[in-house]
Amino acid sequence: MKLPAIALLSAFALAAQAAPAVKPVTAAQLPAGVVFKGDFKQAVRWTDAEGDNLVVVSTHSDDDGSNDDLYAVRYTIADGEAQARWSLHDFVHDCGLDHQATFFRGAALQITDLDDDGIAEVWMAYRLMCRGDISSDTMKVIVYQGAQKYAMRGETKDAGGEGGSYAFDPAFMAAPEPFRAFARNLWAMHMADSPDAELRATE
């Protein structure tokens, strides 16, 4: 069911008020010691109770045309050194049909502090596609708060407007309700996106 526009705007206005100051970072601006796999897509940097933080997202398609991978890595930066804190890797492998693993444009690397505890939440939304018809694709919303991971998994709507269901994992069900509200809004905004609505690289 499509959420009313006013509900979506209210949720994201609240998130904007609860977000730390976030700075976009280009590939050329990445600090020494920060590495990524595949093609750079986006990076952001912010400061919270855990220090100076950086997250980088990237994607990769192999040469034989059957595998797609996406990655996200979070670093903390201290005394000029970058230390990896967590990493995310998801993929579509050995697919001989139309395939894609990509972050939704506008839905990767959103940074919030919805529970106002001084530790930011890092949000990502993406699709995994392997199909030769108009059926739905796998869709996920992933959020980290510190080292804690929460996952919302389901399917996009298909070309006929069917589908779009999802489920929260047990950790997400135990999270603060504003986390789930924000996740539902992300889902509603992107579950009907076309496969080419992917995140473009930040030069």
- The answer to whether position 135 is within a domain reads yes
Residue 126, both tokens: 């993406």
- The answer to whether position 197 is within a domain reads no
Q: What would the pLDDT profile of 9-18 be if each residue is shown by its tens digit?
A: 445 555 555 6
Sheet holding 81-92, edge to edge: 22-24, 39-48, 51-61, 68-78, 81-92
- The answer to whether position 17 is within a domain reads yes
Structural domain containing residue 116:
5-190
**Could you give the angle at which helices 5-17 and 177-190 cross, rounded to 10 degrees?**
130
- The answer to whether position 196 is within a domain reads no
Note if the pTM is more than 0.75. Answer: yes
- The answer to whether position 203 is within a domain reads no
Q: What would the pLDDT profile of 124-170 be if each residue is shown by its tens digit?
A: 999 999 998 989 999 999 999 999 999 999 999 998 999 999 999 99
Query: Which amino acid does the sequence have at 111?
Result: I
DSSP category for residue 29: G
- The answer to whether position 199 is within a domain reads no
Closest CA to 189 of 105, 69, 77: 105
Cross-strand bridge partners of residue 103: 126
- The answer to whether position 118 is within a domain reads yes
- The answer to whether position 198 is within a domain reads no
Q: What would the pLDDT profile of 66-101 be if each residue is shown by its tens digit?
A: 899 999 999 999 998 999 999 999 999 999 888 889
Report the number of distinct structural domains present in the chain. 1
